[in-house]
Structure 1
């Protein structure tokens, strides 16, 4: 359950983030961030048991924050929780627009018997990999040359009404906005299995493509070449920002572990889940980076969504986009429900005060998603900024401060413990600040 919940949109950006850090540095950072976030998550799980004077059986982590920090802890916890939820919803909208665009393009080309020749750098052969960045930006719209067996007017109309940044993001509004207004998310919760299926398919997809493409690696520690990036890069904070959200489950881990029949196994199960997530991220990140064909392309071409490195005509990537599109369309209303419950429930004491309140709230969230899909469709940037922001509170500061305060109250605080947890807090602050300079 924890593995399934934690595996989200970040998995698509892991190879790009590894490229930004450098291959060897990226592997080390994934391992270190996994262990660090696991420890902080362990501190969250143990935070309730440190309060011996009250019955904390039904408490969630925001309740613990309120106990230690008062109304400030409650408000700030709500704020950072909303940052993580709304940030994830924006990323989902950008990705759904991407997947819907490529799916429609594949169907149109198939129906009209269109042969595609990309005007961007690509490899030759039966398993092409493309470099969209070389075609005019990291998020190309319709930059392809089409060879037709039908009237060219059909293609011009298609290009006009099926554009990745100008039309497709708006088409999703009519489909998803009504779903956000449901009072209960129970219908969409039944489709959680799609998340597991999607991740397993991505693992299969990456494995199969790696077998076809082979490994393309050269190790240059500090100097980049025409086709390879150095092993150590100053852009590594971009990976730590992405990983903060990729390993983020701290605001709901107590709720998830409540369902454990044997509560004494919570730490063991949490550790196993984090190990599996680390293994999945390492597997995807290493194989996509290592198999990316350089030469003839450069490793710099690895996209923020690695599926963008495969043309819309690729059947396996088409299937992957279909899986992910349907999975995200079922998860998106769940995220909207959680955001609505937290904000409207806190303000009005009711998660559904009226259809007007809910509609205005949903329009704001949907508007943010559409705006980002149109003007800033960079999922890696959105993930790392929102991840570093929400992680500052829930991953680094609150768990460490609560542990320090509880030990101090029990007169068991030692200097080594204080210094270690102060260092964790400093790392969280540095992680957020570095996102604006890298």
Structure 2
């Protein structure tokens, strides 16, 4: 359950993050961030037990923050929780726009028997890999050349009304905005298994592609040339920002573990879940990076969504996009429900004060997703900014501060414990600052 909840859209950006950090440092950072976030999550789980003389069995982590920091802890934890939820929903909207666009394009070309040839650099053969552009902040919109005979009027209309950033993000409004306004999204919770199916299929896709492409690693520790990146790069904080959100489950871990029949196994189950998540990220990230054909392409071509490195007519990528599109369309209303419960419940004391209140909140959330899909469709950037921001509070600061304060009140605080947890807080602060500097 924890693995299924934690695994999300970040998996698509892990290969790009490894490229930004360098191969060796990328692997090391995944391992270290997994261990660090696991420890901080463990501190969240144990935080309620360190409050004496009170029944904390029904408390969530914001309640613990309120106990230690008063109203500031309550509202700041709410703010950062909203950042994580809305950030995830924005990433979902960008990805759903991407998947819907490519799915519609594939179906249209297939139905009309249109031959599509990618005009961007790429490899030859049936397992083609393309380089849509330097995987930076301005990915190109048109990446293919279409050959067909006859009247091209219908195709021109299709191209006009089926655009990745100008039209498709707006089409999703008609589907998802009504779903967000439902009082209870319990129906969509039944499709939670789609998340597991999607991740398993991605692992299968990565394995098959790597088996056909082979391993392409040119080791160089410090210098770059056309066909490889150094093992260590100064851009490594971009990966730590992505990983903060990739390993983020701290704001709901208490709720998830409350359903555990054997509470004494909480720490074991949490550790196993983090191990499996880290192993999945390592496998996908390392295999995609190592098998990316360089030469003839450059590792710099690895996209923020690694599925974009496969051409639009690739069958396996088409199936992956279908799986992910339906999964995200079922998870998106659940995320919206959580955002509504946390925000409106705290502000108005009622999770559904009126249709108007809920509609205004949902329009604001959907508007943020549409704006990002239209003007900044870069999931790697969105993930690392939102991950580092919410992670500063929920992963690094609050768990460490609460532990130090509780030890101090119990007269058990030692200098090593104080130094270690101050260092963790400083790491979180440096992680956030570095996102805006690199």
- Scaled to the shorter chain, the TM-score interval is over 0.9
3-state secondary structure, aligned to 1:146: strand
Distance of aligned partners of 1:347 and 1:288 in 2 relative to their CA distance in 1, 3 Å threshold = same
1:186 aligns with 2:186: yes
Q: Whole-Å Cα distance in 1 between the matches of residues 136 and 403 of structure 2?
A: 50
Task: State the partner residue of 1:161.
Answer: 161
- What TM-score does the superposition give when structure 2 sets the normalisation length? 0.99
1:312 aligns with 2:312: yes
Out of 97-106 and 347-356, give the one that drifted further. 347-356
Task: State the partner residue of 1:340.
Answer: 340
Q: Whole-Å Cα distance in 1 between the matches of residues 52 and 219 of structure 2?
A: 54
- Aligned partners of 2:135 and 2:304 also within 8 Å: no
- Aligned partners of 1:21 and 1:236 also within 8 Å: yes
Q: Whole-Å Cα distance in 2 between the matches of residues 70 and 282 of structure 1?
A: 40
Say what the alpha-carbon RMSD is for the aligned residues. Answer: 1.1
- Aligned partners of 1:4 and 1:195 also within 8 Å: yes
Q: Whole-Å Cα distance in 1 between the matches of residues 233 and 138 of structure 2?
A: 20
Deviations, residues 373-403 of structure 1 (Å, cap 9, x unaligned) = 0000000000000000000000000000000
Q: Whole-Å Cα distance in 2 between the matches of residues 274 and 191 of structure 1?
A: 23
Q: CA deviation at 1:154?
A: 1.9
Runs of at least 4 residues off by over 6 Å: none
Task: State the partner residue of 2:72.
Answer: 72
Task: State the partner residue of 1:41.
Answer: 41
Q: CA deviation at 1:150?
A: 4.0
Q: Whole-Å Cα distance in 2 between the matches of residues 121 and 135 of structure 1?
A: 13
3-state secondary structure, aligned to 1:338: helix
Q: Which runs of 5+ in 1 are unaligned?
A: none
- Aligned partners of 2:400 and 2:425 also within 8 Å: yes
Q: CA deviation at 1:112?
A: 1.1
Count of equivalent residues:
438
Q: Whole-Å Cα distance in 2 between the matches of residues 362 and 431 of structure 1?
A: 30
Task: State the partner residue of 1:121.
Answer: 121
Task: State the partner residue of 2:252.
Answer: 252
Q: Whole-Å Cα distance in 2 between the matches of residues 107 and 234 of structure 1?
A: 42
3-state secondary structure, aligned to 2:231: coil
1:139 aligns with 2:139: yes
Q: Whole-Å Cα distance in 1 between the matches of residues 225 and 70 of structure 2?
A: 54
Task: State the partner residue of 1:387.
Answer: 387
Task: State the partner residue of 2:13.
Answer: 13
- Aligned partners of 1:62 and 1:74 also within 8 Å: yes
Q: Whole-Å Cα distance in 1 between the matches of residues 248 and 30 of structure 2?
A: 13
- Aligned partners of 2:137 and 2:378 also within 8 Å: no
- Aligned partners of 2:218 and 2:227 also within 8 Å: no
Q: Whole-Å Cα distance in 2 between the matches of residues 144 and 128 of structure 1?
A: 14
3-state secondary structure, aligned to 2:320: helix
Q: Which runs of 5+ in 2 are unaligned?
A: none
Alignment of 1:314-333 (within 5 A): 314-333=314-333
Out of 114-123 and 136-145, give the one that drifted further. 136-145
Task: State the partner residue of 1:28.
Answer: 28
Deviations, residues 175-223 of structure 1 (Å, cap 9, x unaligned) = 0000000000100111000000000000000000000100000111010
- Aligned partners of 2:135 and 2:300 also within 8 Å: no
Task: State the partner residue of 1:298.
Answer: 298
3-state secondary structure, aligned to 2:133: helix
Q: Whole-Å Cα distance in 2 between the matches of residues 197 and 234 of structure 1?
A: 36
- What TM-score does the superposition give when structure 1 sets the normalisation length? 0.99
Q: Whole-Å Cα distance in 2 between the matches of residues 168 and 71 of structure 1?
A: 42
Q: Whole-Å Cα distance in 1 between the matches of residues 303 and 143 of structure 2?
A: 16
Q: Whole-Å Cα distance in 2 between the matches of residues 203 and 189 of structure 1?
A: 23
